[in-house]
């Protein structure tokens, strides 16, 4: 499948949905809020103390609606301060995140 270059992918304004993420094989699950979703990337805010590092692979679970979720593996591409309590984490995903109907 030919995907458009990431920056040109259509973005949907993210509703206030939750995300949880964990390092592979780590017992601790961290939480956050989805900030931005595109076809093969996702950005979210997470508490500063929990922020993953750039290049790290994480397992993402995104709330997508009424009690429905999507699971994806993602690689952290960038982190930046969001406010006093949250950092913004931008990730590339191994499969499409934001498009409806692609959750096999």
Partner 1 sequence: MSTMIEECATRNRSRLTGRDVIHRWEGNPIVSLEDIPFGCNTVFNAAAVKRQGEYLLLIRIEDKMGRSIFTLAHSEDGYRFVVDPQPVMTPSETEPFATYEACGIEDPRITLLDGTYYVMYTAFSHYGPRLALAKTENFREFERIALISEPVNKDGALFPRKINGRYARFDRPNVGSTGNVWISYSEDLVHWGQSEVVMTTRPDHWDCSRIGASAPPIETEKGWLEIYHGVKEAAAGPIYRLGAVMLDLENPARVLGRAAIPILTPREYYERVGDIGNVVFSCGAILEEQTREVKMYYGAADTCICVGTAKLDALIERCFDQEDSA
How many residues contact partner 1, by CB under 8 A?
18
When binding is defined by CB under 8 A, the residue of 29, 65, 80, 94 that contacts partner 1 is: 29
Counting every residue written for the chain, the total comes to: 104
The reply on whether position 104 binds partner 1 by CB under 8 A is: no
Residue 25: left (phi > 0), alpha (psi -120 to 50), or beta? left
Residue 31 near partner 1 by CB under 8 A: yes
In the complex with partner 1, the residue whose CB is nearer, 72 or 82, is 82
Spatial CA neighbour of 97 closest among 35, 24, 29, 39: 39
Contact status: 17 vs partner 1 (CB under 8 A)? yes
């Amino acid at each position: 499948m030919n995907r458009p270059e990431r920056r040109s992918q259509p973005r949907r304004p993210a509703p206030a949905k939750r995300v949880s993420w964990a390092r592979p094989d780590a017992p601790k699950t961290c939480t956050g809020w989805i900030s931005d979703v595109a076809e093969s990337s996702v950005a979210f805010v997470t508490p500063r103390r929990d922020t993953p590092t750039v290049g790290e692979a994480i397992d993402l679970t995104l709330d997508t609606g009424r009690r429905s979720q999507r699971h994806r593996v993602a690689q952290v591409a960038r982190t930046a301060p969001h406010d006093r309590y949250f950092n913004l984490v931008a990730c590339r995903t191994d499969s499409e995140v934001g498009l409806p109907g692609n959750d096999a």
